[in-house]
Amino acid sequence: SNKESSSTTASGTTLSLSKLDRMNIQTLIHDYRAHTWEKEEMLEKAEQSG
């Protein structure tokens, strides 16, 4: 039973980690999209003013 509890803890930790990773990835993607969108807007404005 000792082995079982340690394996359960390991899988539980993996689950919580994957949840965090998913949230981090979504945040990274969101930040990246917002950043590229800002860049494109700046480029468009530069082209219009030029």
User: Tens digits of per-residue pLDDT, 5-48?
Assistant: 555 566 666 666 688 888 888 999 999 898 888 888 888 888 88
CA distances from 33 to 17, 28, 36 (A): 24, 9, 5
pLDDT class of 3 with cuts at 50, 70, 90? low
What is the reported pLDDT for 11? 64
In residues, how long is the chain?
Answer: 50
The predicted pLDDT at position 17 comes to: 67
Tokens of 13: 């930790």
Tokens representing 15 are 């689950």
CA distances from 29 to 16, 20, 40, 49 (A): 20, 14, 16, 30
For the entire predicted model, the pTM comes to: 0.42
Task: Give kind and range of the element (H or E) at residue 46.
Answer: helix 2-49
pLDDT of residue 5: 55
